[in-house]
Structure 1
Amino acid sequence: MKQELINAFIERNLKNFEVNSTGWNELIRQMLFEFAVGGWNIEKDIFGKEKYGELRCYTYSEDKELNTIVKNITQKYAALSMETCEICGSEGKKRSVNSWETTLCLSHYLTQKPVIEIDEELNVRSNSKTLLNINDIVKADIEYDLQKLCLYTEEPAYGTEGISFSWQEPNYYLLLKTIPLQVFSPDMQNPVSALFENLEHCEICGHKAVHQRSCLRCHQEPWTESQVFIEDYGEKTNYIKACQMDSFIDEDDYEKYFKYDRSFEKSHDHQILFGHHDLKEYEKLLF
């Protein structure tokens, strides 16, 4: 088969893939090339799309032998797409952005995630956009678990949408702590106030962020003399060390995203319990 015919087939069908950006273009080109040399009739078009952060191609052939080849090709490139940034084509992995599954490198993941910022004039910003000023807030609705917040700068009418914030955004708890209590409903003022009054230091991450048996900063549970903990870790030191190494490895890039979070103070005498050798041995177990 002539190369120019294959090239024309590839460029024609590249337009038939509904994807979020151009980062997968080279993957799609390689996949289409394998279709062409694998026996696919290049007069027939191929279609595909991105779904849940994965390249999907629903091509089928009634020729059983060719259909096996097609299935192997599509599975191969579906797997490769889950390791390739949809935006730039560099190494990536599946991530959740605004409840959507997408495959991104760390850099493009961080640029798409919102980060709450509060400046000296109490302007609240997210991704360099000013959303409101703390002094202008007239009403604050918060869920009972205190993990989602909606702010209004004027009395809301029926159906009015406020500006929403989530505990999954860096500096969420700093924002919550900065908002005047009187703008919350009377039944929520005590829970919000009590959260910050009763925080304890976390021995794992070192932040004063432990609330109701969970750390709001690292989301780890403090050690208890429970049967489960003892069976899994033996003693407290082993548990803290394992949790600290998980945070350091940061497989889900949580610590990279929360690098600039200022919600909780950190203890000056916090201890890191693992060393280089411990980390290497732990990585062997994980990977």
Structure 2
Amino acid sequence: MSNIISHVGFSTTAKNGDLGHLEESLRRIVDLGADVAELALFGEDLISGGRVIEGRARRLAEICAKFDIRYTVHGLIVSNFMDETHLAYQKAAVRAMLELCERVGADVLVHHCGQAPIGPRPLLAKYDAMERDALAEMAEAAAKIGVRIALENIFAVADTEYRQTPSELAETIRAVDHPSLVGLIDFSHAYIETTRIGADFRDEVRAMAPVTGHLHVHDSFGRPYTMSKFYYTSEAIALGIGDLHLPIGWGDIPWEPIFDEIDVLPGTALIMEIGERFEAERAECLVRARDLAERVNRRLSDVDA
């Protein structure tokens, strides 16, 4: 595989801080033949009050050393550099995540884009500036240990919530202008958000792609949370509502046409956030994901030639 989309794999599944389960989750990913595992460290009880818990961090490093695979790390789900009240706590947690990246040899830290209450444009500009300043600071810290921070697009769940679109995230990344900050396209998130606001899904993805160095792949129908209470996950899947993290092909994202038109940065990893619920489908997903990666690699190699 060429060095555009260079690695394809899966995220681990966190189970209430059970590091034994993390090891089992990694073994399953390695046994599938994946090239990369994204460590779901947001759910592993490795950080307390912004500080790494030494004993558990050592156990994490011991587990990761058992497997010959590339690692990336997913930071906190609640990471938010538009959170003025808790900004110092947010930064401390990211610095701790970067320390964990260094300990396990991970080269990417996934960070969710900011969220704030909707308001007038000057207020939103304040949130944007706050996030850019924090991203620049954290990117500088990441550069010292050879890690790239991957800023992930997220969808809003209500009209009272401010989230940047993928094209706006691309503007943020260009404004920060640091080699250790790249974009992360989550295709399902983009699909849901563009459906919610009436934007063009494919246009938004294409706009973010040139600054993107990390990909999250999982399927959905792009349907916002117009209904939020389900007794079983299977019910949400049956109705096709929300961020379902389905196997490739279970939703209706047009994967091949999208991968035929996006240009991403060299060294991009493609991570399938398709959990152990769908263990029986993951091998097939890996085959299809590698084909998607090769569509990009062949096309961009032909352009270079």
Normalising by the residue count of structure 1, what TM-score does the alignment of the two structures yield?
0.22
Normalising by the residue count of structure 2, what TM-score does the alignment of the two structures yield?
0.21
Q: Greater CA radius of gyration, 1 or 2?
A: 1
Q: Which structure has greater helix proportion?
A: 2
